[in-house]
Structure 1
Amino acid sequence: MPDLDPAIARRMIDATAYIFDMDGTLVLGDAASGGHKALPGAADLLSTLRSRYTPFRVFTNGTAKPPSVYAASLRHAGLDVADHEMMTPSTSAAAWFVRKGIKRVRVLGLDGVQAPLIEAGIEVVGPSEMASNVEAVYTGWFREFTLPDLEMACRDVWDGAIVTTASNVPFFAALGGRAIGASFAINAMIRAMTGKQAKVLGKPSQNALHSGLALMNLPRSAARSTVIVGDDPALEMRMARVSGALGVAVTTGLNNAADFLACAPSQQADVILSGLEPIVKALS
């Protein structure tokens, strides 16, 4: 295993916090079982961070399940992740809606998408529910999506609701290859009908990063001393690049080293690793 550049290793050691992607970084999802399989080094890395009292959050861009259910699945896979250490885009979306004073949201998604919003006190309107005065449409994981859902969402937008989304990426890493991101397809249909581009409230938005820091009781200024680890240049690496965080790319998910090296400057990683073990070594 090659040694890390000393400057990179020092930033990992001195980091105020870590934010990890889930699929393709710590685990791979198993579509057949609905569970997860831990990737090499993941359990050791989280254990090492806990022993150093370094806070972390696991931030998946998926909204198929509530954060607590994802956390339980990770624990079943052998990772020490408490419920409060797990985030989804709906976690950061709920914080954004509250901050903006948005109280009535049509959610295109089921319990995994809706739960954090309901917990934040937001009135959630169901996908095809008749409703007026909807302030925002929010899209997430929703394979049950139907034409009536599209019609209701478009009517809200034509009446002035803003369009927001958990994620607008077409694929995510899973065992056996890539899986399609449902919200990407839904967003495309809404955009085609209304001309409105969805505002991303999950990764790579700065809203998502700031929500993660706030949940660790850290100020926004802590972003520059945070390490962001992930497998997607358009998500984790872009979020790190914009914020000044250390962006650590891993090739255990959707992309290989050549893919990361070919990215635009706005999506470049500070270091590309074949797995998590070099981080464990640096911290040990």
Structure 2
Amino acid sequence: MAVSKCRRLSGGALRELLDSVESVLFDCDGVIWRGDQAIPGAADVVNRLKKHGKRVFFLTNNSTKTRGMYADKLRRLGFDAAEDDVFGTAFCSAAFLKSEAKLEGKVYLIGSAAMQQELRSVGIEQVGVGPDPVSGAQADWAGVPLDPEVRAVLVGFDEHFSYMKLNKALQYLRNPDCLFVGTNTDTRLPLEDGKAIPGTGCLLKAVETAAQRQAVVVGKPSKFMFECVAGRYGLDPAKTLMVGDRLDTDILLGSNCGLKTLLTLTGVSTVADAEAHQRSGCDVRLGMVPDYFVESVAELLPALQG
């Protein structure tokens, strides 16, 4: 199946692909929903996959919701989904700090209330959530009070990101023993009608620049995102399909982890983008070329009916 990449998937090839996998990983926004609306046919596809005995999981770089919040949204939109099926970066960051980094201490969190909740669920205390305006004179900022129990800085999406938060992160990260973790590097969040807003990657890059350090990133395309699922459910990479709308996150994750990859054109990336990567000859860009593409996940329905 990897002989000819970026093939339009249809007909018997659809059934052949689905027969070859045991597990299917779906990105969320742009793949199975847009905003608060399900992609037409997406819930039917997911529910039929489960009825056919496939294991289905949902992977998202969005750190603004807990697993429970995502599961509620999935069910509200008609998907057969449980909290354990969801792997967002809020949850995966907490899992990384607890299980992989074995953190002993607090986290300085540039992030959301959902991230705060996921950290608490694994027994990790945090400081930093909410607004933090500048106070005092410029000469005071380098000496801003710090919590001596903080052993890691975690950066996710934070609508209250500010100069003071950037400054505090720098002060904590001056300690080389302080861990530095980011949820994801997506620089833009696409909205309807071609609009976009800055993504977490912009905030993370600001902290990296100030601290002159690079963060460990847990979200797609980092292998940890897949390992977080595979370690819990024993997934076989050769029998796992990654379905996504972004070449630089979803498809690259699949390539990095040896998964089959399927691009859906209801989100960010285009076939022209994939073909440009394929022509480049660059190893990194070749990792962003999907095995297959479809206009929408709804095109999988014929292979699941009957």
Same fold (TM over 0.5): yes
* CA drift at 1:24: 0.4
| 1:14 equivalenced with 2:20 (yes/no) | yes
* Residue from 249, 274, 278 that aligns with 2:295: 274
**Equivalences for 1:256-275 in 2 at 5 Å?**
256-263=270-277, 264-275=285-296
Which deviations, in whole Å up to 9, do the C-alpha atoms of 1:124-167 show, x marking residues without a partner?
Answer: 22246841242221111111112221111111100222321111
Q: Is the 8 A contact 1:172 1:180 kept in 2?
A: yes
Structure 2 match to 1:174:
191
One-letter amino acid of the structure 2 residue matched with residue 65 of structure 1 = K
Q: Which runs of 5+ in 1 are unaligned?
A: 30-35
* CA drift at 1:16: 1.6
One-letter amino acid of the structure 2 residue matched with residue 23 of structure 1 = D
**Equivalences for 1:87-106 in 2 at 5 Å?**
87-98=87-98, 99-103=100-104, 104-106=106-108
* Residue from 224, 241, 245 that aligns with 1:227: 241
**Equivalences for 1:145-160 in 2 at 5 Å?**
145-160=161-176
CA distance in 1 between counterparts of 2:301 and 2:154 reads 38
* Residue from 125, 128, 135 that aligns with 1:126: 128
* CA drift at 1:246: 0.7
SS in structure 1 of the partner of residue 209 of structure 2: helix
Which deviations, in whole Å up to 9, do the C-alpha atoms of 1:221-274 show, x marking residues without a partner?
Answer: x12211100000011100111111111001100122112222220111000111
Structure 2 match to 1:32:
none
Deviating more after overlay: 17-26 vs 186-195: 186-195
Which deviations, in whole Å up to 9, do the C-alpha atoms of 1:186-238 show, x marking residues without a partner?
Answer: 112112212112221111111110112234x215xx12211100000011100
Which deviations, in whole Å up to 9, do the C-alpha atoms of 1:99-144 show, x marking residues without a partner?
Answer: 2211332111121222222111222222468412422211111111
Q: Is the 8 A contact 2:109 2:154 kept in 1?
A: yes
Deviating more after overlay: 9-18 vs 62-71: 9-18
Q: Is the 8 A contact 1:92 1:211 kept in 2?
A: yes
| 1:195 equivalenced with 2:209 (yes/no) | no
Q: Is the 8 A contact 2:190 2:197 kept in 1?
A: no
CA distance in 1 between counterparts of 2:261 and 2:13 reads 13
| 1:136 equivalenced with 2:152 (yes/no) | yes
Equivalences, count = 274
RMSD: 2.0
* CA drift at 1:181: 4.4
Structure 2 match to 1:164:
181
Q: Is the 8 A contact 2:189 2:199 kept in 1?
A: no
Structure 2 match to 1:33:
none
CA distance in 2 between counterparts of 1:66 and 1:181 reads 21
> Cα distance 1:236–1:194, how it changes in 2: closer, same or farther (>3 A)?
same
Which deviations, in whole Å up to 9, do the C-alpha atoms of 1:10-38 show, x marking residues without a partner?
Answer: 23223121110000000011xxxxxx100
SS in structure 2 of the partner of residue 154 of structure 1: helix
CA distance in 2 between counterparts of 1:79 and 1:172 reads 24
Deviating more after overlay: 171-180 vs 114-123: 171-180
CA distance in 1 between counterparts of 2:261 and 2:173 reads 36
Q: Is the 8 A contact 2:108 2:128 kept in 1?
A: yes
Percent identity (aligned): 23
Q: Is the 8 A contact 2:252 2:287 kept in 1?
A: yes
* CA drift at 1:90: 2.1
Structure 1 match to 2:4:
none
One-letter amino acid of the structure 2 residue matched with residue 62 of structure 1 = N
* CA drift at 1:178: 4.6
CA distance in 1 between counterparts of 2:238 and 2:95 reads 22
> Cα distance 1:247–1:5, how it changes in 2: closer, same or farther (>3 A)?
farther
> Cα distance 1:43–1:159, how it changes in 2: closer, same or farther (>3 A)?
same
One-letter amino acid of the structure 2 residue matched with residue 86 of structure 1 = V
Deviating more after overlay: 60-69 vs 174-183: 174-183
Q: TM-score, normalised by structure 2?
A: 0.83
Structure 1 match to 2:135:
none
Q: TM-score, normalised by structure 1?
A: 0.89
